[in-house]
Amino acid sequence: MSILISLLHFAILLTILLSLAYFRAPLLLWLSSMAAVTVLGLFGHQHFLQPLWIMLLPLLVTLVLGFLSLVPLRRKLISKPLFGWFKGVLPTMSDTEREALEAGTVWWDAELFSGKPKWKKLLEVKKPELTDEEQAFMDGPVKTLCAMLDDWEIRQNNNLTEEIWDYLKKHRFFSMIIPKEYGGLDFSPFANSAVVMMVSSRNVTAAVTIMVPNSLGPGELLLHYGTDEQKNYYLPRLASSEDIPCFALTAPAAGSDASGMPDEGVVCMGEFEGKEVLGLSVTWDKRYITLAPVATVLGLAFRAVDPNGLLGSKEDLGITCALIPTSTPGVEIGARHIPVGSAFLNGPTRGNAVFIPMEWIIGGQARIGQGWRMLMQSLAAGRAISLPALGTAGGKSAAIFSGAYARIRRQFNMPIGYFEGIEEPLARIGGNAYRMDAARQLTLAALMEGEKPSVLSAILKQQLTDGNRLVINEAMDIHGGKGIIEGPNNYLASAYKATPVAITVEGANILTRSMIIFGQGAIRCHPWLLKEMESAADPDATQGLKDFDRALFGHVGFVISNKVRAFVLGVTSARWVRSPVQGPTARYYRQLTRMSAAFTFIADFVLATYGGSFKFKEKTSGRLADVLSHLYLASAVLKKFEDDGQPKEDMPLVHWAMQDSLYTMQTRLVGILRNYPLRYVGKLIRFVIFPLGLPYEGPRDTCGKHVARLLLTDNPSRDRLMEGLYISEKEDATGLLMLAFAADRKAVVPERALKNAFKQAVSITNYEDMIERGLETSIITQDQAELVRTAQSLAARVIAVDEFPADATPM
């Protein structure tokens, strides 16, 4: 009898499917309830549901679905009350917040928010490459510049040398984003990143000096928003370095809250070039402005006000950007800040009632009040280039240099890199460096396609600068005493001390992680949330209600589908998910699909629970940001592996990065649910996404060992990881290190022969004696003796630290 009832229920279900096919969300509920009822009926578990309820439950669901299919009735009885409530609880959004949220575009981040990413779409993205002209610039001027840079000399002089400044200007390093028609290099985002990364691997000061004119600043703003007259005047001068730009945004009272800047420009009449013209009297106090001490043109952000109504009835006109020659009377410039661990020029600028004409506003008078939008749109792309390139350079350099040092440096008669205690940080350095470079390349591919991925650029900036700090700290631990003694032989000190700079600028990482990544990502990338918010803001209440009803029930369906998907993928361990590739990485595509569904499901529940107060739940937002970030980083790892031709030898790096990302995502999701305000609901959600327990454990020791071995030996994986770095050919700190690494490999056979013959390992203290004995007994040849002598003498020079006179002053 129960089987017949269940079959009847499925017949009813088919009828509803045909009549309500367009209304997907409740049908998922119907499907799950009918499946449960059928299973219970087939297996005779009537003690869970009495026969009467077995008949009534589908009927009840049918009635509900039938009601919900009547859109006008549904809209009146359900959507209308919820619409009023939603508008009441929706937090007030300022114009600057709205402009920040709307800046840029969405790309792969939207797929990750869908719960079912389209992996073929990702793999179809073209791998970025340099043009012949860009490659020639890398092989010529960039490598020549790197050879000229002496990190110790620059730090001692607290500035680049005049020779380097002249070289930068001569070869137009400051014009990479300026079109050729204005005299610029007109390089792609990938080339821009490549230049910064290579120079960063040699000297941070030079890299930052190059970054600023090619990032958020006058050049970028002029290109997109300047008048023709402004472009024709300034861009050729910026391209030739006749003008050196800086951009002043941060104020003592407005750091992370840059939109709350107190700097003000009052619309007024004033004298300019002997005539009375309309303009602004601007007063400002800015700090932390890179290149300010040498700038000839100052880009300035301030709030424009019109108290006398010279432009209309509106008094607060909003944030505005202007270009002001630093020779203008009243402009204070030239003092310096000294950034920790670096010598790039940075300082304050001030002005008191400085009159500027309207034509100095970027874009002219028509652009008054549009400054914040201009800045956010520019930042959406620019933040994905310079600082991530600097962070990746730090990660890759730490991997190559730490691996080389760990092979050369011996303790207890063996290279320290073969001790498990050193293997652990080496693995973390190698895995993170690979993942960082993968994310950098994928985001640049998006920029090359014309995207301005604001959420992904925030992820890239936060994750890669934080990643740089992690690997530099690990590298310092591996180098021990070598890393903590200042001097020209220390190739880690500058990068180690300068890491907080990149972490702090262009949106401090704490702010970016806890407020921006998920806060902006949820609104921009979620398929329904922004539509609901836009409907609430629609001045046409009738149309707003219609849009809200459509978005609301689309959102409900989205939540239910992700709940079902997350649970099913959890029960099956995502084994049945289709992967776009075959082989060892296929399971990672499946697991990321599972995590995407779990993330989206939890994100919706969190937003529904907290409502408008979520804006202040920064710990939860930060954890969600980490999940979204690692979904993206892991996607980038898989894409890089495919772009590189699926090299088998790179699998340890892929395994480490993927397993670490999956474990990190799992840890953050568990952290969210442990702190969920409704404790039992949190436990229930955890069961939905992890029904069989926690599946991810992080990289195993054997995986870490394989990664470490890649850094300790000469192999194609290490060569790929080294791509884009500057490898010195001189006998300076890093040049000696690389020479010693190469020599050590060549000396392996004769050193082993000596050790076997004399039962003693060759070292920097005994190698001459061992060589002599080996030659006397014909254990080694004269050529082999020279290999050992070269390897050990170079190792001794690398291990040595600098010594200074007793009265030397601290650096």
Q: CB-side exposure of 491: number of CA atoms within 13 Å?
A: 29
Buried b (16+ CB within 10 A) or exposed e, 289-305: bbbbbbbbbbbbbbbbb
**Of 741, 716, 695, 696, nearest in space to 653 by CA:** 716
Catalytic residue check, 506: yes
**Of 573, 159, 153, nearest in space to 344 by CA:** 159
Would the CA dihedral through 677, 681, 682, 685 be positive or negative? negative
Buried b (16+ CB within 10 A) or exposed e, 373-403: bbbbbbbbbbbbbbbbbbbbbbbbbbbbbbb
Among residues 134, 474, 506, 532, the one annotated as catalytic is 506
Buried b (16+ CB within 10 A) or exposed e, 192-212: bbbbbbbbbbbbbbbbbbbbb
Cα–Cα distance measured from residue 467 to residue 513, given in angstroms and rounded to the nearest whole number = 13
**Of 744, 698, 738, nearest in space to 718 by CA:** 738
Cα–Cα distance measured from residue 728 to residue 413, given in angstroms and rounded to the nearest whole number = 29
Q: What is the DSSP letter of 761?
A: -
Residue pointed to by tokens 């090619």: 214
Angle at CA 146, nearest 5°, toward 185 and 497?
Answer: 110
Q: What is the DSSP letter of 149?
A: -
**Of 80, 61, 62, nearest in space to 71 by CA:** 80
Q: Element (H or E) spanning 216, and its range?
A: none
Cα–Cα distance measured from residue 721 to residue 426, given in angstroms and rounded to the nearest whole number = 14
- What does the DSSP assignment read for 298-359? EEEEEEEE-TT-SS-S-SEEEEEEEEEETTSTTEEE---B--TT----EEEEEEEEEEEEGG
Contact 738, 397 (CB under 8 A): no
**Of 69, 80, 72, 25, nearest in space to 544 by CA:** 80
Q: Element (H or E) spanning 611, and its range?
A: none
Q: Which residues are catalytic?
A: 506
